[in-house]
Each structure stands twice: as C-alpha cells, then as structure tokens.
Chain A
Amino acid sequence: MRCAGLVLLVLVLTSCGDERTGQRYRAERELWRADQQREELRSRGAGDAALTALAARYETVGRRFELDAIADSAAAAVQEVAGRAWLEAVDVHLARVDSLRAVAILDQMHGPYAAIPTIAAEVAWRRGRIARAYGDRPLAIELYRKAARTLEPDPGAESAADSVHHLPLEALELARGIREGPELSEIDSWAQEYYLDHLDADSLDVRLDARRLLSETHMERGRWDEAIEQLTELERELLSHDEQDEALPRYEPASIRLRRFEARVGGWLESTESLDSLRAWFERLRDDYEDYGVAPPALWVMAKAAGERGLTEDALRLLSQLRLRYGNAPILAEAMLQRARLLEREGRWREAYVEYRLLATERPLSGPGLQVPLEIADHHRGREDQLATREALLRAEEHYRGIIDRYPPSPHTILARERLVETLERLGLDDLALEEILELSRRAAGRPRELRLLRRAARLAESSLADPVLSRQILDRIVQRYPSTRIGQWAAQRLGRPEVLDPGR
C-alpha cells in the first residue's frame, strides 16, 4: 500500500500543469482523422461540396488548437500541428481551385507561425507558388527566398525541408526576364552562395543535392564550364560512394553524366567547335554507361543541337542513327518529329511527309504522333494552300475522332481530344469545338482543368458563336460549381451578378 501511495504521489507531483502534451496529442488525432477522410474522398473521387466540408474540418482543427503565444517547446509542438491543419486546409482549397481562401489562410498564418520554421517555410512556399501561378514573379521570388532562409534542407524529411533547397534555383528561373523586382544577378549570387554553403553539410544527401543544384544554377546562367566542373565532381563522388557499400544516394551516376553531356552541348552551341568534339564526349558516355539507357537521350540532344547550329545533314544523320540503334527508346517519337521538321525546313517535303506518316503509324498515341496531322496542315498553311490545308485539317479531324473511338479513355485520348478541339477551331467549326471542350471539362470534373476548360468554353460561346444563352449557361455552371474562385468571380461579373461574390470564403 505504501508503495502504491508513493507511486501515486510521484505521478501527481510530476504531472502538475502539463496540458500541452495532451493538447498536442488531441490535435494530432483530429488531424489524422481528417487525413483519413481525405484519403477516403480521394479514393472515391469527391465533389466540391465534400472537399469544402473537408477543408472546413481542417480549418476547425487549426482554429481549435492554435495558440496565441508560444512559451516553450511543448507549446511550439501544439502550434506546429495546428499549422499543419491549416496547411492541409490550404491544399484542399487549392485542389478545389479556391485560391482566394487559400491565400486568405496563408496570409493570416504569417504572424502566429513565424517561430515554427517548418510551418513558416511552408507558408512562404505555398504563398509563393500561388503568386507564381498568378504571374506575380517578384512576390514569388521574395517568398521563395524567405522559405529557403527559414528552413534548413533535410532530404527525406516529411516536410518542406525535403525540397526547400530547390527554391533558390526556382527563384533564379523566375527572375529571368522580369522587368521589376530583384536583379537577376543578385538572385544568381544568392543562389550560388546558398548552394556553396551547403556543399559542406553533414548530410551526404544535402551535399550531393547542393552540388547538383549548383550545377543547375550555372547551367541556367549559361556558365557551362562551371556546370561541367560541378557535375564531374558529383559523378566522381557518386562513383566512389557506390564502391563503398553505404546507403546509396538517390542519384544515378549515369543521369549525372547525361546532364554533364547536356552542359557540354550547351557550351558547344555557343562555340565554333566542330561536331567531332561532341561526338567524342558522346562515345565516352555511351561506352561508360552502356546499359543505363542514357545514350539515346544524349544522341537526341546532340542531334537537336546540330540542327540548331544549322548542321542539318549532321543532325539528320544522328537522328537516323538514333532510330537504327535504339529503335525502342522512349525518346524516338520526339526524334522522328524533329527529323521530319528538319526535312521540311530543308524543303524535302516528300521525305518529311514519309517521316510524319511513319511516326503517326508507329507511335500513334505519343505526343509527337498526335501532333502529326496538325504539322501536315501547318505545312500547307505555310504554303498558303487553303484547299490542301482544309483537306489536311479534315483528315486530322477524322484521325483524332478515330483515335478517340478506337482506344479506351486515357491520357492519350484526352490529348487526342485536345488536338481535335484545335483542329475544329482551325476549321471554323466552333460549335463542334465547344462540344468537345465541354466533354473535356466533364472528364476533368473536380480538377482545376475543368474550371479553365469551362472558361474557355464560355469565351468561345460568347465571342465566336455569339450565343449569349449558351454562354450564360456555361457561366452559370462556373458560378454554381466554383463560386469563390477568381474564375468564378469573373463568371459572376460576366453574368452581371456581383452579389454572388463572397470574398470571405
């Protein structure tokens, strides 16, 4: 009895006032249950109403457990779970194309979560992605920089730390060609500095990623020699690591060699060197990594570069070589399209036509294969032969309809339908094009694509068909399905019903 009493006393004394552990645990439980609901909805394909309810559930968890002040690590743990719930709500809102609500949540999260690096970084990152999607590149760059500064990379982590180190490179890509905002050179220096700092990180994955991304930064800015230097070092590190029997890094030395070759091709394009110097590089790559499938894409890159430098015959020869040696390579369809285009550019239309037909027959469902009928029509349009263009477009329509009828619904048939829409629009058959766009939107129900297709359909009905009744029907559908999205608001304005706007949602 005395012993039991002592145990009880110890429990009571050591436990007084520790409420945060329980709060954190309950928050985790609520969040997990909402996640389960999300998985369930994902498996059975949820409508907008179900997704709205799910987002509200996540928001409730966030609101319920959010703390006003973070006094200690236990409170920070509670706040982190609350932050996760808000971020899940943001993701659900983005999935239902409600970026307004997503932005509203992210903007209110800046203050309360500033002290939690994982959450603060994710907030900045998501907000940056939305800014990028809406074309606000300076804001996206600023937010990406903030995210990268806030959180240290940790590849493999189940948080933004897993890939936060990609952001400097993304910021650099965004900075290219913007008129206002930070200078490109400033972002470039910052990105280089960021990756150089991480070359000495403790984690092997961080070090390798940093070197890889540093090389990409150099390639982005056309510093080919520096990129090659980094990629050479990276390949060497990977090969030496491979020999020691440790946990293998996530890069294949073969893919790094391919990237190195691409950097070499980039440098060659800006030089006056002969193609032979590239060939020597290619042969070394082919011999070193014979079984890794990197030779076909390397050959394709070399052929494309030769074409760009005006060495058409060399390019054609390389593309033929690719077809002969690597007949089953996934890149072959791209190579055949490139070959046909080069032949067409050289005025060898008969040969180009044969190549186009071969591509459409051998790889009918590939992207390049589906492009063939429109390429042929483009050729005739370029020669201002209206009759031949129309005939080619009619054949294209027949071709695409045949594919849609012949094959079960898949991404390939969706692509064929998109090409069909393009064909019908060029033929001036806007009513039929509209039908196909609406069919595509039905197949994309519940996804952001549906909204964009509906907007396209509404515009087509309004401008080309001059059918206000149909246009209003489509706009009405947009407003009903996506009332709180930007496109939903645009549709409401077109309908002259600004009262449906509800910016607070």
Chain B
Amino acid sequence: MRFYESLGAALWAWGGSLRLALDLRFWSPLLMLTLLRLAVLLLLVFFHRPEVAGAGTPLVGLLGGAEALHYPEHLYRMFGLFRPLDAFVTVLAGSVAAGAVSLRFARAYGSKVAHQRWKGLRSGLGQLILLFAIALAAELAFVGLVRLIPEEIRHATTKFRLLSLLLEWGGRIAIQTCLAYAVVEIAVRGLAVREAIVSSVARTRELPLLTLVLVAGTSGLMFPFYLMADIDLGDRIPLPEAVVILVVVQILADLVFTLLRLGALTRVFVWRTEVRR
C-alpha cells in the first residue's frame, strides 16, 4: 500500500470505529479502566488525607522522592508520580479492557471467529496481561537505551532534550506498531502470546504504513503529556492544581484515542483475515 492508500484505509478504519463509538457498550470496558485510573490519581493527589495517608505517603515518597511529599512540588510532579502506577494498572486492567473492546469491535465488524470466542476471552486474560507486560518491558528497555546517552549530551540544549524525548517516544510508537495486532490476535483468534506477537509483526510488515498511521495518529497525539513528566512544570504552570487537571485530560484523551485505535486496528484485522477471503 502506498502512502495515500494507507491514509485512505486509516480514515476508513477510524470512520468505522467512530460510527460504532456512538454505542456506549463499546466504551464500557475502557470506561471502567478510566475510573480505575482516576481512582489511582485520586490516591496520589490526596495521599495526605488521613484515610489514605498511611499507604499514600510511602507510595508517593517511593515514586517521587521526599520532595514529592511537599506542596506544591507534589502536584508539579504529578505526571511523574502517575506514570509508573498507570503503567501497572494498564498491564493488569488495561490489557483486559483492550481485549474486551477488540472482541466487541470484531463482532460488530462481522467477524465469525469473534462470535465464537466471547466465552473464550476469559482463558486469554493471562495472555493479554503477559502481552502488555512484554510491551511495557520492551518500551522501558528502549527508553533505557536512549538514556544510556550521557545526560550532558541529552540535556545540553533544549533542542537536544526535546530530540531525546522524541527519540524515546518514537521508539515506543515503533514497538506499539509492531505489536498493534497482538491484542486482537489473542482476543479474537485465541492465540498464545508468542504466536500473537509473531503474527502481529508479520501483519505489520504486510501493512507497515497503515499500521503506523493508525498507531501514531492516536498514541502520537499523547506526546505532550509524555513530555510533561520530564520537564519542570513549576516554571511553566503558576497554579499547581492545574497539573492535576492536565493529568485528568490525559486520562480522558487516552480513553478516546485507545478506543479509536483499537476499533481501527480491529477493523483492519477483520478486513485482512476474514472479509477479504
């Protein structure tokens, strides 16, 4: 597929997801995940409340250091505090939600296999969690590799700093692109993690541009939020509480983009595996 064909196919895939997204049933697994993420955020924001301080204080201290326990530094570091816990929640609950959403989309797109799989999803939960854990490990490993470049070089100028963050983000997008169809492979076709990854990589090789557009067109838009965990917000945002609002915006934006991405990837998957035949 050439670039314009890929772009056309991506618009077609997103269009299908958007139409189905009018039905609230498609949102429910991700909405539950969002509620869970908001609960985690609430715990981090109100860690000092007597009801949660005993657990919240060591948790915030562990994630952000002693400085993060003090106002306003605590709020300015909220992106950094939230990210590791959010990754944990995404692996445990996000994986399940993603599997459920993919399956629903596949059924709506007329996948026969998906109709037979609904009950079998439960048995694939472990595979989904494992897949997300592998994806997270791969992303962290890539970020770790980038951070092997000495800090004096990475932080030499603002441009260099931005470039190194873009490199990290680009690596994450590349990994997500390779694993783009793995969730659907597990949820819809019931494959094990290893086969799902191999199959996803093969499918991405088949449709590299389209898959990249679908992933980068949604996950890529989250880059500003990724950036915020790495810069000193104290100099840029005068009201510390505004950072919490930004994290909420991040969670909500992620909800919408995840739904669109999963819907679009599932549509492409069903089109390539079932309809075309």
Which residues on A are within 8 Å of B, measured CB to CB? Answer: 10-19, 21-22, 24-26, 28-29, 32, 36
Contacts and interface: CB of A to CB of B under 8 A. Distances in A.
A82 to B, nearest CB: 14
B249 interface: no
A369 B49 CA distance: 63
A18 B72 contact: no
Interface size, B (range)? 10 to 19
A11 B51 CA distance: 8
B50 A15 contact: yes
18 contacts: A11-B52, A11-B54, A11-B55, A13-B54, A15-B51, A15-B54, A16-B54, A18-B53, A19-B50, A19-B53, A21-B50, A21-B69, A22-B48, A25-B69, A25-B70, A28-B72, A32-B71, A32-B72
B95 interface: no
A29 B72 contact: yes
A21 B60 CA distance: 12
Contacts of B51: 11-12, 15
A98 to B, nearest CB: 29
B266 interface: no
Most buried by A among B51, B54, B72, B238: B54
A334 B52 CA distance: 66
Interface string B40-70: 0000000111111111110000000000011
Contact of B54 (A14, A25, A28, A32): A14
Interface of B: 47-57, 69-72, 74, 238, 240
Contacts of A29: 71-72
Contacts, number: 51
A76 to B, nearest CB: 14
Given A11-B55, A15-B55, A21 B71 contact: no
B57 A21 contact: yes
- Label chain B's interface by main secondary structure: loop
B103 to A, nearest CB: 22
Given A15-B54, A25-B70, 14 more contacts: A12-B51, A14-B54, A15-B53, A15-B56, A16-B50, A18-B53, A19-B50, A21-B48, A21-B57, A24-B48, A26-B48, A28-B70, A28-B72, A36-B238
A12 B55 CA distance: 8
A18 B55 CA distance: 10
The 6 closest A-B pairs by CB, nearest first: A14-B54, A15-B54, A25-B48, A28-B71, A18-B53, A21-B53
B125 to A, nearest CB: 14
Contacts of A26: 48
A14 B55 CA distance: 6
A25 B74 CA distance: 10
Contacts of A25: 48, 69-71, 74
B54 A18 contact: yes
A121 B240 CA distance: 31
B143 to A, nearest CB: 28
Most buried by B among A12, A17, A19, A22: A22
Contacts of B48: 21-22, 24-26
A476 to B, nearest CB: 41
A26 B49 CA distance: 10
B71 A10 contact: no
Nearest to B70: A28
A11 B238 CA distance: 32
Contacts of A18: 50, 53-54, 57
A10 B49 contact: no
Contacts of A17: 50
Contacts of B71: 25, 28-29, 32
Contacts of B55: 10-11, 14-15
Contacts of A21: 47-48, 50, 53, 57, 69
Nearest to B72: A32
Contacts of B49: 22
Contacts of A14: 54-55
Contacts of B240: 32
A35 to B, nearest CB: 10
A150 B159 CA distance: 47
A65 to B, nearest CB: 13
B44 to A, nearest CB: 13
Contacts of A22: 48-50, 53
A25 B69 CA distance: 8
A28 B74 CA distance: 11
Most buried by B among A10, A11, A19, A21: A21
A343 B53 CA distance: 76
Contacts of B74: 25
A410 B72 CA distance: 37
A19 B49 CA distance: 7
Nearest to B240: A32
Nearest to A13: B54
A215 B170 CA distance: 57
Contacts of B56: 15
Nearest to B75: A29
Contacts of B238: 36
A256 B47 CA distance: 50
A15 B55 CA distance: 6
Nearest to B47: A21
A25 B47 CA distance: 10
A412 B212 CA distance: 66
A15 B52 CA distance: 5
A17 B54 CA distance: 9
A14 B238 CA distance: 34
A10 B52 CA distance: 10
A35 B187 CA distance: 54
A227 to B, nearest CB: 40
A28 B51 CA distance: 19
A10 B58 CA distance: 13
A13 B52 CA distance: 9
